[in-house]
Amino acid sequence: MIPFVFNNLDSIPNSVYIIGKEAFRNCTKLSKVYLGTDMASIGADAFNYCSKLSIVVCMATTPPSINSNTFDNTNASFKVYVPDESIEMYILYNVIHYLVHIGWVQC
């Protein structure tokens, strides 16, 4: 779990597998985030009010669990990138469905 908040983040190391509740809330300078291969869970409001967030890259082949409000109040057009071989699993776990359903783009 990430124990504190960063304002300028490029990547979260593979050794981090849980992002806690409100971990990056109000990080208005955060524009992109790279989630490592072992990411398992992203807490409630973790990226809430990250208004400049434009790219989320998740390298985990198994989708992390996310709450319905994990990405609330962010840039509504940000893109989510996942491994090609895992797209079906992300859809099955409703991660991509959730992101697409509320207007975010999955590439």
Report the chain's mean pLDDT, rounded to a whole number. 78
pTM for the model: 0.77
Please write the tens of the pLDDT for every residue from 61-84: 898 988 878 888 887 777 888 888
Q: Write out the DSSP string of 75-104.
A: -TT-EEE--GGGHHHHHHTTHHHHHHHTT-
Which amino acid is present at 49? Y
- Which residues, 6+ apart, have CB-to-CB distance to 8 below 8 Å? 29, 30
